[in-house]
A and B are shown apart, each in its own frame.
Chain A
């Protein structure tokens, strides 16, 4: 059992997520029990407004959990300081970059901030990690470009490289495929799959690309209004989880191809 625990990077116990206002609290999802293992790619899917972002924000300690607990590498999230957490978990967010004048290299080196000294000087080791991240993502030719010169797809790769440079066992991405064309959507998700297997990192992302996620993920978290399912894509299809994901007046899930079809 102890050996098994070492492989678990993220674990939630009876987690409830939602928002607290002054008067009451709005529970978006409850009884979430998931266990993400080392080297897995996990997709989080669900309809708009179902609470995917709320769940991710809770997992990244951006908002507090309403109930239950979260463990990252067997450490309770509530007992982690921001700095400790930054060495366990890195993120790729949807928010636009503020300083577009940063060069790609500078941006990626910012991923080393949790490890650098008071003024942020990079050691040999830091530079090695940064260059390794650039190499894995294959963006050497972008290294000296400024961020405002990049396309959306390139920028997303750079942001993933930054998260890699942070050298954490868990990477959480919030909708990494928005604003991208079909090719780059597949490209980014395929890249994430490759990263999970080659670097043995656990990668959790939320996405609306359900068919791509079914093909690429080891496990999926499917958020429905009433329950949350966590299993491998094949098992989820067998259980018919995707059929109830959206109202069935417009689109239906085709179990054979693993994709949604518009009703004729």
Chain B
């Protein structure tokens, strides 16, 4: 597969758009800070207003970086899943990653009343939600992996993932039924998703795991291209199917699992970004798709976050709603305009 020179321009444009979106994202917010001061703060000059510096360094900058990690990570894991399952409907969450994370968080928040008053305080801290989400998605994924070793068909694996999703959803509704209004509210807030709650320390851990997932995805590029021919052809080309499948699933769960743990179950991005990318780049070559998904995922997430924080106002909207409101019409428009689905 050749690197086509025709793709250089869109890559250049997207990179510029990403930088632009990043700047717009950190310069807008509930407090108006002039663009000049923002540049000054980011480049490390002495700021004229320390509260501005605090807002930019400790709130807006980590939030923008989180948006990039979340958008690109979910997009890439969506791409991996769609190729692995040869199914345009697959997303990072088909393996039960979100449902597992939701179950973990639901038990941590709403199960508190079951575990008694002493535990309640411990269970609802920030880190406990992250740990519960990671643990939940890891456990569900582990179960899916064990089952996947017994089935040879990737399509069966897809359905098994969806079934696990249904089971966890059912358990969550039972928990919801028995929980207090306060617990329920906290759980609903987690479900809205949030990019802005991360400290630098958390961001470091977040990005390390993200980078491991990203490296595994990069290492799978050749295998992903081979998988385009179908499992049997891939095997005849010397591909170790079991190893490839495992690598891709681990990469996805690292990416989508940590993102869900830190930022909540962010819908839509994972499914839609690969489709938007394919419409723009009209290729199936992962050497082009993967970096393109990275750029587009980051851009769209930054735009969604900019809209969600309602510049100049004190309110902010749940990011999960915005991703769908902004993203879904884009995908519909692209499909209608081109009249053809590229997969």
Contacts and interface: CB of A to CB of B under 8 A. Distances in A.
Interface of A: 60, 62, 81-87, 89-91, 93, 95-102, 105-107, 109-111, 113-114, 116, 118-120, 122, 166
Nearest to A106: B1
Nearest to A146: B282
Contacts of A118: 219, 222
Contacts of A100: 343
Contacts of B227: 98
Given A113-B225, A118-B219, A122-B1, 8 more contacts: A82-B235, A82-B239, A86-B237, A93-B233, A95-B230, A97-B229, A99-B229, A109-B1
29 contacts: A82-B238, A82-B239, A82-B240, A85-B236, A86-B236, A87-B238, A90-B236, A91-B233, A93-B230, A95-B230, A96-B230, A97-B230, A98-B228, A99-B228, A100-B343, A101-B278, A101-B284, A102-B228, A106-B1, A106-B283, A106-B285, A110-B237, A113-B222, A113-B226, A113-B237, A114-B238, A120-B225, A120-B287, A122-B1
A229 B236 CA distance: 27
Nearest to B278: A101
B86 A166 contact: no
Nearest to A105: B2
Contacts of B218: 119
Interface string B209-243: 00000000011011001111110110111111000
Given A91-B236, A110-B229, A111-B237, A99 B284 contact: yes
A50 B226 CA distance: 32
Contacts, number: 88
A11 B68 CA distance: 57
B163 interface: no
A101 B343 contact: yes
Contacts of B239: 82, 113
A119 B222 contact: yes
Given A97-B229, A110-B228, A89 B236 contact: yes
B222 A101 contact: no
- Which DSSP category, helix, strand, loop or mixed, fits chain B's interface? loop
B229 A98 contact: yes
Nearest to B340: A148
Nearest to B221: A119
A83 B230 contact: no
Which of B222, B227, B233, B285 has the most chain A CB atoms closer than 10 A to its own CB? Answer: B233
Given A109-B1, A109-B2, A119-B221, A86 B284 contact: no
A145 B294 CA distance: 27
Contacts of B233: 91, 93, 95
B238 A119 contact: no
Closest 4 CB pairs of A and B: A86-B238, A83-B238, A99-B228, A120-B222
A105 B1 CA distance: 8
A95 B229 CA distance: 10
B203 interface: no
Nearest to B229: A110
B232 A95 contact: yes
A113 B238 contact: yes
A209 B235 CA distance: 28
B86 A98 contact: yes
Contacts of A105: 2
B342 interface: yes
